[in-house]
Amino acid sequence: MPSYQDVCKELASEDSRLVKAIWNALKRPDVIKDMFIIYFSYELLKMRNDERENKTSARDEILKINSRAAKILSDYVNRKLATEVAASALSTIVINSVNFKTIAFAAINRYSIWAVRVVNVYGYAQRASESSRRLKHWHPEHYEFLYKNEIEMLYFIIEPSIQKSIKNSSGDKGLGRLIKIIYSLIK
């Protein structure tokens, strides 16, 4: 059982991370889109890793070519660029969908008046902390991406949409999963 001091340290750390996340949100032109870009980058990376595990000897043959270093570098750059372009495009589609706009704007309107309701800040901090902890527990890689961008404490804004899409795509892998996620987010 954690001690009182440990709990206080954890709460102080979460409060500090929430302040950083809000500060980063104010500096970014579209933090919600950034969060979806990170989410789709995470999903595309998972999809690529699944594909890599399922590849047979074709990959081994490619690696035997004399120009292996150039090929690997070229593939890496192309995959990274393709992932970033795809993540950005998918995020734009989701952000611009009517359903997501309704949900997101409702959430933003609910939470953006925090400046007026300073008394409620701790309630938001608790909700943000709980959401962040759930993400860290269930999807540590996605949490890491958001954490590195110092916006993991804002995950609670998009969590309902993301959880719905994950639920609707459970059991699927690869492109089929990604399509179900996108469909779930925009319908």
pLDDT at residue number 5 = 85
Asked if residue 96 has pLDDT above 90, the reply is no
Residue/partner pairs of 115-119 with CB below 8 Å, 24 or more apart: none
How is the chain split into domains, by residue range? Answer: 4-186
Structure tokens at 110: 């609910």
DSSP structure string for 71-130: HHHHHHHHHHHHHHHHHHHHHHHHHHSHHHHHHHHHHHHHHHGGGT-GGGHHHHHHHHHH
Coil vs helix vs strand at 52: helix
The pair phi, psi for residue 49, each rounded to 5°, is -65, -40
Residue 66 pLDDT level (bands cut at 50, 70, 90):
very low
pLDDT of 31-43, one tens digit each?
Answer: 888 888 888 888 8
Q: State how far the Cα of 141 lies from the Cα of 153, in Å rounded to an integer.
A: 15
